């Protein structure tokens, strides 16, 4: 096998692996985002854009909203806003309260298969 033939075979194998990787809906990894309950609206929108970007790249996002013992309503308000904004972008799973924190994950939406898209 010559060098040119080896290079062509290697390129074919790379392309094949790339198409297999793109076809799978596997989550690449996870990202952690820690948000204070006192976050400003502008900063929250920036964090939402960051989450959306990670969702498009198939990352799972683990979110922790730090609250305080006297004012958990603010933390719940931040969670409600995140939940409302993430309706079309991702799915929120496993919401839980631990101490003064609210923890949950946002996972990318499932991709529809080609047959389901047509129907």
The stretch 61-77 carries a mean pLDDT of 88
More confident residue, 77 or 109: 77
For residue 105, the model assigns a pLDDT of: 93
pLDDT in tens, 76-104: 999 999 999 888 888 899 899 988 899 99
The rounded mean pLDDT for the chain is 84
Which backbone phi and psi does 15 adopt, to 5 degrees? -65, -40
Q: Enumerate domains of the chain plus CATH numbers.
A: 27-109 (3.30.110.10)
For residue 56, the model assigns a pLDDT of: 87
- Confidence check: pLDDT of 114 > 50: no
């Amino acid at each position: 096998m010559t060098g040119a033939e080896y290079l062509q075979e290697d390129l074919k194998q790379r392309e094949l692996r790339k198409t297999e990787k793109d076809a799978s809906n596997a989550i690449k990894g996870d990202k952690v985002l820690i948000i204070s309950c006192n976050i400003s609206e502008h900063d929250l929108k920036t964090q939402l854009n960051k989450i959306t970007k990670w969702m498009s790249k198939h990352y799972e996002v683990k979110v922790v909203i730090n609250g305080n013992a006297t004012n958990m309503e603010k933390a719940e308000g931040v969670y409600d806003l995140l939940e409302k904004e993430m309706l079309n972008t991702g799915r929120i799973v496993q919401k839980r309260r631990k101490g003064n924190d609210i923890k949950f994950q946002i996972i990318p939406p499932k991709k529809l298969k080609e047959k389901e898209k047509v129907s």
